[in-house]
């Protein structure tokens, strides 16, 4: 049975910031329902991703405008430029934090992989998303507690009971989508320079 393949962009809006400063996390899924009904898959994707962000929302910075953040879903196999199949708010309540965040560049990397197969290029079977921005109170020297929160949310995303949908890692080089079987989060911060804000003042010397 051929798959319906999807790209899902979670667009985290930021209070009082322009769209170019929004944070985007890109996810991949495949639908396995026999009827090839993309409506069922879209509902399942929105449900899974909403649950994931609900599980980490208490740690996101207050700058994240959860009430306006969106999940935009595309048919990966459609001819570019691809119009969204769905562009909607989170499918449920994602709570906004009341705690200001640290630098927007500071991210936590959630990594994941397909099953290990002899003879395959393993680098193409791995993927990642860079999560954040985070509350200042979570920005310890090492994000041990936060890693636990993120991996628990990822485990729930992976083992959700809607069996007709798989969370995938997508290889652009091979144009292949492979089901994820495991993942990890290292207790070290990553930096996404593109998420930094443009300076609006300058301090001079002497």
Residue 160 lies in a domain: yes
pLDDT digits (tens, 9 = 90+) for 145-196: 999 999 999 999 999 977 689 999 999 988 999 999 999 999 999 999 999 8
Residue 182 lies in a domain: yes
Interval 119-131 mean pLDDT: 86
Reference 12, options 82, 120, 89, 84; nearest CA is: 89
Residue 31 lies in a domain: yes
pLDDT digits (tens, 9 = 90+) for 52-95: 999 999 999 999 999 999 999 999 999 999 999 999 999 889 99
Domain that holds residue 44: 4-192
Residue 197 lies in a domain: no
- What's the pLDDT score for residue 119? 67
Residue 199 lies in a domain: no
Domain count, the chain: 1
Residue 201 lies in a domain: no
Pairwise CA distance, residues 129 & 109, whole Å: 6
The model's pTM is 0.93
Residue 72 lies in a domain: yes
């Amino acid at each position: 049975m051929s798959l319906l393949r999807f790209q899902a962009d979670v667009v985290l809006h930021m209070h009082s910031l322009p769209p170019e400063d929004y944070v985007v996390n890109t996810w991949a899924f495949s639908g396995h329902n026999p009827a090839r009904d993309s409506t069922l898959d879209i509902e399942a994707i929105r449900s899974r991703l909403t649950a994931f962000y609900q599980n980490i929302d208490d740690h996101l910075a207050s700058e994240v405008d959860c009430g306006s953040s969106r999940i935009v879903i595309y048919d990966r196999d459609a001819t570019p430029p691809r119009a969204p199949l769905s562009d909607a708010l989170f499918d449920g309540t994602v709570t906004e934090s009341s705690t200001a965040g640290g630098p927007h560049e500071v991210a936590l990397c959630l990594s994941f992989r397909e099953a290990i197969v002899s003879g395959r290029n393993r680098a193409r079977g791995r993927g990642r998303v860079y999560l954040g921005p985070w509350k200042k109170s979570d920005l310890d020297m090492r994000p041990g507690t936060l890693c636990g929160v993120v991996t628990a949310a990822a485990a729930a995303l992976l083992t959700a009971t809607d069996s007709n949908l798989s969370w995938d890692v997508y290889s652009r080089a091979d144009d292949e989508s492979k089901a994820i079987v495991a993942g990890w989060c290292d207790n070290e911060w990553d930096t996404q320079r593109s998420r930094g804000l443009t300076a609006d003042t300058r301090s001079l010397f002497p």
